[in-house]
């Protein structure tokens, strides 16, 4: 898995890593605050009892939160809850169900993958090993299939054909792109040149900070004060650069819906348009005789909720990748199925069991699926 320079640790996704770092810092501050308050009051037995009671209350609150999450997972696992979200544009909730047929296709995919060496359709280099997904410590992946329909029109006939798309959530063992699987929705990922260059700059700052800190610890008190000021300044600079990088990552998420708008004029096909444009409307080159454009929006524009607080990994799950690919190909989505592949997860928030079907998540998927499913039920033109 990719080690993120910004936080210097393994990260499930580049954007998540930066946000997670901020969350960790917040938690550290909280625990420091808690320790301080414990020290002040922790000098007699009464207060020890208070601490124990507080811990018990916290444990119970955690148990209740886990139970609520468990119930939410069970609720979202219902077939009719598989993929849905509120659409700001229509003021309606759009839904795509999980059908038995989709479940069968997902099960068959799981079986097929388990018999293969690599999860990639084209690669046998050992880069995408199936056995990695079954690693007890780091393995496990949500995979999804989307049953789609496409029509071939000739002057006399109209033929429908079934297609299947497959996607995994997040990265596959550190890789965003795996042959045969739907690509990520973010243009800026850890393997993009833009990200790598920015990452190098942040790495250099980290080295400089380390050097200065070392120097300060050896020098006299006068010069160590100057070094400390320089370290603080550099740390602020690094923090701002990390934040700016995170913003650029969010800027690069482009989400299509099945809604189409008429082209403004002839010849304004913008297949080469930059996805980072926050409200870009991109034409799909895959739609034959297409006289309309797909509506693509930046993730902040289609997120139902407070877009300034996009959750980590929003747009990286299997469902949004599947719908985006389907819309860009000009196909119609028929049904979806998402299941877990790998070791079972028993943690309260996780609760994943191989072969069991799950619905798109509440925090990251539902707020964007309303936009992505808009006009998905319309017949193909």
Return residues touching Zn ion (CB under 5 A).
Answer: 87, 89-90, 317, 361, 364-365, 374
Residue nearer to Zn ion on the CB measure, 245 or 369: 369
Residue nearer to Zn ion on the CB measure, 7 or 73: 73
C-alpha–C-alpha distance, residues 171 and 12, integer Å: 7
C-alpha–C-alpha distance, residues 319 and 230, integer Å: 46
Residue nearer to Zn ion on the CB measure, 145 or 205: 145
Closest CA to 335 of 47, 17, 82: 82
Task: Give CA separation, 137 vs 133, 143, 263, 291, in Å.
Answer: 10, 18, 50, 50
Residue nearer to Zn ion on the CB measure, 227 or 374: 374
- Minimum CB–partner distance for residue 164 and Zn ion (Å): 20
Query: Where are the extended beta strands (E) located within the chain?
Result: 3-4, 9-10, 83-87, 92-96, 141-153, 158-168, 254-262, 292-298, 332-341, 357-358
C-alpha–C-alpha distance, residues 369 and 359, integer Å: 12
Q: Are 142 and 339 in contact (CB under 8 A)?
A: yes
How many C-beta neighbours within 10 Å does residue 175 have?
A: 17
- Minimum CB–partner distance for residue 3 and Zn ion (Å): 24
Task: Give CA separation, 327 vs 253, 323, 334, in Å.
Answer: 15, 6, 12
DSSP 56-101: HHHHHHHHHHHHHHHHHHHHHTSGGGSEEEEETTTTEEEEE---HH
- Minimum CB–partner distance for residue 180 and Zn ion (Å): 21
- Minimum CB–partner distance for residue 149 and Zn ion (Å): 20
Residue nearer to Zn ion on the CB measure, 149 or 375: 375
Residue nearer to Zn ion on the CB measure, 148 or 361: 361
Q: Are 216 and 235 in contact (CB under 8 A)?
A: no
- Minimum CB–partner distance for residue 196 and Zn ion (Å): 27
Q: Are 162 and 148 in contact (CB under 8 A)?
A: yes
Q: Are 165 and 181 in contact (CB under 8 A)?
A: no
- Minimum CB–partner distance for residue 159 and Zn ion (Å): 29
C-alpha–C-alpha distance, residues 147 and 185, integer Å: 19
C-alpha–C-alpha distance, residues 139 and 103, integer Å: 22
- Minimum CB–partner distance for residue 154 and Zn ion (Å): 32
With residues binned 3-state (H G I as helix, E B as strand, rest as coil), the percentages for the chain, rounded to 5, are 45, 20, 35
Strands 141-153 and 158-168: antiparallel
- Minimum CB–partner distance for residue 373 and Zn ion (Å): 7
Residue nearer to Zn ion on the CB measure, 89 or 234: 89
Residue nearer to Zn ion on the CB measure, 205 or 365: 365
- Minimum CB–partner distance for residue 338 and Zn ion (Å): 9
Residue nearer to Zn ion on the CB measure, 115 or 262: 262
- Minimum CB–partner distance for residue 266 and Zn ion (Å): 28
Residue nearer to Zn ion on the CB measure, 245 or 361: 361
């Amino acid at each position: 898995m990719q080690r993120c320079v910004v936080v210097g640790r393994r990260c499930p996704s580049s954007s998540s890593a930066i946000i997670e770092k901020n969350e960790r810092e917040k938690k550290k501050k909280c625990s420091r605050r808690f320790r301080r308050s414990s020290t002040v009051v922790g000098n007699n037995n009464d207060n020890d009892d208070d601490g124990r009671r507080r811990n018990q209350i916290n444990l119970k609150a955690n148990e209740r939160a886990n139970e609520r999450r468990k119930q939410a997972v069970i609720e979202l696992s219902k077939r009719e809850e598989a993929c849905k979200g509120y659409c700001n544009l229509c003021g309606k909730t759009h839904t795509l169900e999980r059908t038995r047929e989709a479940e069968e296709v997902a099960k068959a995919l799981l079986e097929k993958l388990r018999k293969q060496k690599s999860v990639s359709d084209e690669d046998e280099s050992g880069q995408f090993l199936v056995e990695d997904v079954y690693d007890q410590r780091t393995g496990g992946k949500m995979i999804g299939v989307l049953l789609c329909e496409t029509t071939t029109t000739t002057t006399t006939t109209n033929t429908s054909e079934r297609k299947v798309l497959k996607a995994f959530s997040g990265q596959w063992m550190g890789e965003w792109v795996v042959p045969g699987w739907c690509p990520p929705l973010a243009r800026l990922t850890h393997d993009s040149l833009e990200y790598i260059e920015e990452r190098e700059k942040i790495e250099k700052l980290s080295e400089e900070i380390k050097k200065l800190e070392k120097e300060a610890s050896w020098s006299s008190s006068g010069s160590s004060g100057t070094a400390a000021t320089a370290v603080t300044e550099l740390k602020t600079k690094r923090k701002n650069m990390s934040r700016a990088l995170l913003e650029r990552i969010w800027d690069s998420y482009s989400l299509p819906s099945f809604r189409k708008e008429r082209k403004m004029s002839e010849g304004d096909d913008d297949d080469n348009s930059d996805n980072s444009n926050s409200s870009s409307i991109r034409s799909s080159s895959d739609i034959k005789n297409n006289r309309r454009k797909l509506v693509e929006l930046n993730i902040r524009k289609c997120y139902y909720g407070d877009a300034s607080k996009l959750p980590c990994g929003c747009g990286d799950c299997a469902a949004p990748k599947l719908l985006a690919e389907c819309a860009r190909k000009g196909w119609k989505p028929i049904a979806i199925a998402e299941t877990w592949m790998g070791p079972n997860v028993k943690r309260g928030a996780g609760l994943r069991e191989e072969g069991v079907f799950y619905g798109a998540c509440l925090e990251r998927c539902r707020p964007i699926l309303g936009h992505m499913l808009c006009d998905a039920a319309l017949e193909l033109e």
